[in-house]
Structure 1
Amino acid sequence: MACNVSVVHQAMASAVAQPNKAPPQLPCAHLSSSSNSKPKPFKLLRSSQSSFASTFSPSRPQTLIPSRSSKAPNFLVVGCGKVEPLRIMISGAPASGKGTQCQLITQKYGLVHVAAGDLLRAEIASGSENGRCAREYMEQGKLVPDEIVVMMVKDRLLQPDSQEKGWLLDGYPRSSSQAIALKELGFKPDLFILLEVTEDILVERVVGRRLDPITGKIYHLKYSPPETQEIASRLTQRFDDTEEKVKLRLHTHHQNVKAVLSMYEDITVKINGSLAKEDVFAEIDSALSRLVEKRKSTSESLAA
């Protein structure tokens, strides 16, 4: 049945004159010859033909006519889907290589690196009350209370750059309570990477680790020595990078890692962190690439 477009125009004009009111129900919402017949949807005309949008004139009544072409209109479908940024967690014992791998991951995938340890050390350096409290726990090889760390991590993950580019959360959560807190705040990773390294290698890595206070670069006296004597002379050792303290930290890590893994069991990828850093990254890169491709495929399907 034909639809009188002049009535449509009157309804549209009324909507423009009263923008705060809900749009009216147009009288040609259903085109049927009787109440028992099913409405027939209109097919859009080809771009080479005159379309309703280009020929509509309020000065004369018009009729919408369903296309009788047997062929489907050849329209380009433009998708509005957007690929969501990656949300990755990486975990491992002290000196398992998280910092090195995080650097390689962020270089390739552009994620924002959020290291809970760095947030804590910055708080300690500021001399705040939370910083002094955190230092006491860290010196004893214990986990810093959740109420101190969780809010720092939450605030960083909510920053615009983390929301836009995606984030790589380094060394957090370290306990089931921290994992639960993040979940309740709405932070769920797409992938949880666990670096596994034997304890004797971990101790050797920690004890030989040094920090350049000017550049922030991490060196190792055996595996990655400083380039010049000038750099070597200014290197410092973190207060908790001693053999005694690292063994306490390893004990705490092993006690809590199983509980954390139980929260992310279905998205966990375990990587042998004892390998060369290039080989470790190759495995991580493979897992992330699969995730990116899957996400792109899903986005394209939704946009089609």
Structure 2
Amino acid sequence: MALNLILMGLPGAGKGTQAQKIDDEYQVPHISTGDIFREAMANETEMGLAAKAYIDKGELVPDEVTNGIVRERLSQPDVLKNGFMLDGYPRNLDQAAALDQMLADSKRHLDAVINIDVDSAVLVDRLSARFICRVCGATYNRISNPPKVEGTCDVCGSHDFYQRDDDKPETVKNRLAVNIKMNTPLVDYYQGQGVLHTINGQRKIDDVFEDVSTVLQSVSES
């Protein structure tokens, strides 16, 4: 089943987990922008080299280079055969318009945008629950992955834990605010195109995936 998808959701919404389940069930290639940037630079493609020149100077990669890297990836045989699941792209309306043009040029269309929706207060709790063993570096989550014995590292037995600045609630709130500001125009854009499907992500993983599967079955039959 070849499906052309975009996966959206704020940090901590469970996007990565659902992407893996979609890949396993439907064999739709998961295309993370981070992964394809690294791949394009390692393979020294034209766009990969262009991106590296900006990154090496500590500059943001401009949209036209990002779009070029995505275009390269969407032209590869596995995508042409099985479709794609974009994760982390598009990040703004100009990139969304560029994607529309790429698909039109290759006589393809977007089947669905899956938006995993979780209340930001829940995400703050999820993301700020992470802590790390200072001795061996093992990572835990107070909600989803606590140590087997409270206060004791499963790996090395240490009782010395810390929390990274990035995982502290105030930092997490700021990061979410930036992502909400960036995502909202895209949600509106795809809502306007009639391809947006918002899924309640505040449930068990399998329940969320059941709703995702219902959407994918529906669009594959239409």
**TM-score, scaled relative to structure 2:** 0.70
Q: How does 1:161-172 map to 2 (within 5 A)?
A: 161-172=78-89
Compare the two structures and name the one with the higher helix fraction. Answer: 2
Q: Which residue of 2 aligns with 1:253?
A: 179
Q: Which amino acid aligns with 1:282?
A: E
Q: Number of residues paired by the alignment?
A: 193
| Alignment-derived partner of residue 135 in structure 2 | none
Alignment of 1:44-63 (within 5 A): none
Match of 2:19?
102
Higher RCO (CA < 8 A, seq sep 6+):
2
Deviation at 1:240, TM superposition (A): 5.9
Q: Which runs of 5+ in 2 are unaligned?
A: 43-47, 133-138, 149-153
Following the alignment from structure 1 to structure 2, what is the Cα–Cα distance between the partners of residues 177 and 247?
Answer: 26
* Corresponding residue number in structure 2 for 1:149: 66
Q: Which residue number in structure 1 is paired with residue 97 of structure 2?
A: 180
> Structure 1: any 5+ residue segments left out of the alignment?
1-83, 138-143, 212-217, 295-304
Check 1:258–1:166 CA distance in 2 against 1; reply closer, same or farther (3 A cut).
same
* Larger Rg over CA atoms: 1
SS, match of residue 221 in structure 2: helix
What amino acid does structure 2 have at the position aligned with 1:129?
A
> Structure 1 residue 245: deviation in Å?
4.8
Bigger drift between 160-169 and 240-249 goes to 240-249
Q: Is contact 2:40–2:69 with CA below 8 Å preserved after alignment?
A: no
Q: Compared with structure 1, are the counterparts of its residues 108 and 226 closer, same or farther at alpha carbon in structure 2 (3 Å cutoff)?
A: farther
The reply on whether 1:112 has 2:29 as its aligned counterpart is yes
Paired residue for 1:283? Answer: 211
| Change over 3 Å in CA distance of 1:185–1:272 after alignment to 2 | same
- Counterpart of 1:193 (choices 114, 128, 134) is 114
Which whole-Å deviations, capped at 9, do the CAs of 1:171-223 have from their partners, x for residues lacking one?
Answer: 32121111011112226410011111111222233344589xxxxxx974531
Structure 1 residues 95-130: Cα deviation after superposition (integer angstroms, max 9, x where no partner): 111100001111110100001244457789999433
The one-letter code matched in structure 1 to 2:10 is A
C-alpha root-mean-square deviation of aligned residues, in Å?
3.6
State TM-score, norm by structure 1: 0.53
Matches within 5 A, 1:21-170: 85-120=2-37, 128-132=52-56, 145-170=62-87
User: Residue type of the partner of 1:131?
Assistant: I
